[in-house]
Structure 1
């Protein structure tokens, strides 16, 4: 009988390094995808908050008898352009920060990856105010004490490729709709139901 000796052979260092490299690449890609999904969820939450505060502002304007306005801002931070928003209340001395519900009407910033584009009825392309702004600067969107607001829309676009991410629309009565990619609920990417 021929005696066959089996030689035990382990993995070479090169094989281990290749496997380790592949595992690291897969983990990195997975974490990048999770990270971008998290950013999209955060942006959606911020925009829903903006919509909810705007609806609150309309109610507050009617109850208090004072107009409340949304002031869109743009500022440079660490070499990046960042959009944000603040709120103003019309008083006898002019536009000022709201006295009531100051935590609700706090200034907020959006992620640096997005840019805003505001259009009101018969007034397209309204620019945000460069921050810091004077206390008495007039807001671009006004929620009147009468319960009305000039119809308009706020586009939220990805800065790198100008992709429309969200569209916030409102009518004369302040009814607001937040549309992902600008499409009504139930509509696909190609515009079909």
Structure 2
């Protein structure tokens, strides 16, 4: 009788690489989920988290075909997605891009091209993108925004709202940005720097 041979199929190189990437992402976020106690340790952990999430947002923009923005909030930061109807926040609890809250002694700021703190993304405002409807008013325009919001017939009231602090485009490019994270009574800080070609780096700055 003819013997039957069972063909055994192995894994391809691409399949192995995909698995390794998934394992690496899982291990990264598992490590970041540990809550260190000291402000210096928490600053290091949160800056690593922001760096990893910025890279995830860039990938998400490419995969979804939608521009993704990072918005600095009063107590942390969150990611928003640009749809035809405008900006919408990512709020799903199982998404890595869900809103993040920072401890009260941790701070995050956007730096302008001169390296000073900037509450508004002036470069983003030059694009044909709508202002974020979920952003808070710029500190310098708070009074103007309050007055505008008091008039429901004022169509220009949203112009006083802030633009996202960082924009990740579906083309794989991004608007240059520098986000600085610091902590009270800690002698160093971290900068998350994005280049136009999509490269994102994390830098430690000693005071």
SS at match of 2:73: strand
Tell me how far apart the structure 2 counterparts of residues 91 and 122 of structure 1 sit (CA, whole Å). Answer: 32
Task: Give the structure with higher Rg (CA).
Answer: 1
In the other structure, the counterpart of 1:41 is 41
* Structure 1 residue 98 corresponds to structure 2 residue 90: yes
Q: Is residue 119–residue 125 contact of structure 1 (8 Å, CA) maintained in 2?
A: yes
**What is the TM-score normalised by the length of structure 1?**
0.58
1:149 aligned to which of 174, 177, 199: 174
User: Residues 1-193 of structure 1 correspond to what in structure 2 (within 5 A)?
Assistant: 38-74=38-74, 83-98=75-90, 103-121=95-113, 125-127=117-119, 135=134, 138-159=163-184, 163-180=187-204, 182=205
Aligned residues: 136
Q: Report the RMSD for the aligned CA atoms in angstroms.
A: 3.2
Task: Please say if residues 156 and 164 of structure 1, whose CA atoms lie closer than 8 Å, have aligned partners that are also in contact.
Answer: no
- CA pair 65-101 structure 1, distance change in 2 beyond 3 A: farther
SS in 1 for 2:40: helix
Which segments of 5 or more consecutive residues in structure 1 lack a partner in the other structure? 1-35, 75-82, 184-188
TM-score for the superposition, normalised by structure 2: 0.55
Shift of 1:48: 1.0
Unpaired segments of 5 or more residues in structure 2?
A: 1-35, 121-131, 136-160
